[in-house]
Amino acid sequence: MASPHVTSRDPNSVGRLPARLNKADDLYRQLRWTFPVWTRRNAKLFFALRTLPAISVVGGLSKIWLSWLNRVTVEGSEKLSSALEQHRNSGQGLVTVCNHYSCYDDPGLWSAILPYREFFQPKTMRWSSAAEDICFTNKPYSWFFSSGKVVPLVRGWGVYQKGMDFLLHRLNEGQWVHIFPEGRVNLQKQPIRLKWGVGRLVAEAAKTPLVLPFWHIGMDRVLPPLPPYIPRFRKKVLVVFGDPIDFSSSSLVSKTSYTARERRKGVTDVIQTELFKVRDVAEEIWANNFETAKLTAFFGSARTNNSSSPSPSTATVSRHTPTALALRNPLRPVIPSGIYTGFNLTPTRGQMGSPDTAVSTSVSSTSPRQSEVVQN
């Protein structure tokens, strides 16, 4: 069955849906799509002037909240610096992906990670996405979030919609796009199969972008994702960056080797495996460093240092300790980080499997973690 989307890559006509979804244009008019037509004269200049106050003010206030009133620890920040430098010097697009634990993950995390000067350079700031039924419900919201370089995505409309096409064109221009590939706030903090949208962005970009995964813990304590939405202070946040993923030499992005569906699925599977590797590292650091200090302050140094294994009462203090993770989900094996030996970016068609079956093309070890691959 043919894909129900227009194959044209005209940036002024992308996002058209078939007749059975002919209300798409009405919805986008209702959302008041406030992004300018990029081909018009001075459109990018006027949009940059519009985004400057929004990004600088929101970024500055968020940095005060996250960095001054809370504590953010970043592991592997040099990987982000190197990826940004490569992205800006070579003109190669950059895609960053991470988990989604709080509604304030973006812009909160970027305000704490990036230096102040980045907030006054809207041209190089990341593009992001948000659910249209949350952030684009009226004209003021639409104007505010789009001024922060946030693009609306309609849940249930798949990978071919106006917002995804818009982000793809920004990648083709060599810009930076950030995606929450889980597709929603993960309230249960359980593994979620990544959506194929990120695979489409990488596989269909004119020049294959660099992908940088990272994992964070603690943002749901700074701003809980459930009512009452009360900002918190003196909380700890951990951010761990993984190694960048370069698909430039991979056959997964080759249009002659695989179909479009196979390409975006294969790319998504690789990103999912690498993102879960970073998760293991982050959870281990959180359990060994952050929570050990918290338990010591709460129970006393003698109780935590003299015991080789935590007691049940101490294991339930944090949702991120290995013991708590095992108790919460006995089917999920809790193993040390670094157990994977790498991944194969050029699997055979037999390894790819059907998009409707579970695959593990990017895991090359015999770890029991292979059973965690979620069926699509």
- Here the CATH number for the domain that contains residue 147 is 3.40.1130
Which has the closest alpha carbon to 237: 59, 54, 62, 118?
A: 62
Report yes or no: 154 and 161 within 8 Å, Cβ to Cβ: yes
What mean pLDDT do residues 264-272 have? 97
Q: Is 96 helix (H, G, I), strand (E, B) or coil?
A: strand
| pLDDT of residue 196 exceeding 80 | yes
Which pLDDT value is given to residue 11?
Answer: 43
**Token pair recorded at residue 108:** 């909160």
3-state secondary structure 219-263: HHHHCCCCCCCCCCCCCEEEEEECCCEECCCCHHHCCCCCCHHHH
When comparing pLDDT for 310 and 25, which is higher? 25
What mean pLDDT do residues 1-14 have? 43
Average per-residue pLDDT for the chain: 77
Which pLDDT value is given to residue 27?
Answer: 60
Asked whether the CA dihedral 157, 163, 165, 171 is positive or negative, the reply is negative
Residue 254 lies in a domain: yes
Lowest mean pLDDT segment, chosen from 23-32, 55-64, 79-88, 148-157: 23-32
| pLDDT of residue 362 exceeding 90 | no
CA dist 306 and 129 (Å) reads 48
Report yes or no: 93 and 83 within 8 Å, Cβ to Cβ: no
When comparing pLDDT for 367 and 27, which is higher? 27
Which pLDDT value is given to residue 26?
Answer: 63
CA dist 55 and 128 (Å) reads 12
| pLDDT of residue 240 exceeding 80 | yes
Which pLDDT value is given to residue 32?
Answer: 64
Which pLDDT value is given to residue 291?
Answer: 57
- Residues 6+ away with beta carbon under 8 Å from 166: 11, 14, 15, 35, 151
**Token pair recorded at residue 188:** 């249960």
H-helix or E-strand spanning residue 211: strand 210-217
Lowest mean pLDDT segment, chosen from 34-43, 57-66, 226-235, 268-277: 34-43
pLDDT digits (tens, 9 = 90+) for 98-153: 999 999 999 999 999 999 999 999 999 999 999 999 999 888 999 999 999 999 99
| pLDDT of residue 38 exceeding 50 | yes
Residue 250 lies in a domain: yes
Report yes or no: 283 and 217 within 8 Å, Cβ to Cβ: yes
Range of the domain at 61: 19-275
Residue 257 lies in a domain: yes
| pLDDT of residue 13 exceeding 50 | no
Amino acid in the structure at residue 137 = T
Residue 118 lies in a domain: yes
What mean pLDDT do residues 4-26 have? 46
Beta strand ranges found along 69-175 (DSSP E): 71-75, 94-98, 128-131, 150-153
What mean pLDDT do residues 202-226 have? 96
| pLDDT of residue 198 exceeding 60 | yes
pLDDT digits (tens, 9 = 90+) for 70-100: 999 999 999 999 999 999 999 999 999 999 9
Q: What percent of the chain has pLDDT over 70?
A: 68
What mean pLDDT do residues 5-30 have? 48
DSSP class of 59? H
When comparing pLDDT for 332 and 44, which is higher? 44
Which pLDDT value is given to residue 36?
Answer: 81
Which pLDDT value is given to residue 39?
Answer: 73
Residue 54 lies in a domain: yes
Which has the closest alpha carbon to 185: 212, 151, 219?
A: 219
CA dist 150 and 139 (Å) reads 14
| pLDDT of residue 348 exceeding 50 | no
Q: Distances from the Cα of 219 to the Cαs of 77, 151, 222, 284, in angstroms?
A: 18, 22, 5, 17
Residue 88 lies in a domain: yes
Residue 24 lies in a domain: yes
Number of domains making up the chain: 1
Residue identified by tokens 């620890």 is: 73
Which has the closest alpha carbon to 3: 171, 153, 159, 154?
A: 159
| pLDDT of residue 4 exceeding 80 | no
Residue 230 lies in a domain: yes
Strand partners, 128: 150
Strand partners, 212: 96
Pairing of strands 236-241, 210-217: antiparallel
- Whether the full predicted model's pTM is greater than 0.75, yes or no, is no
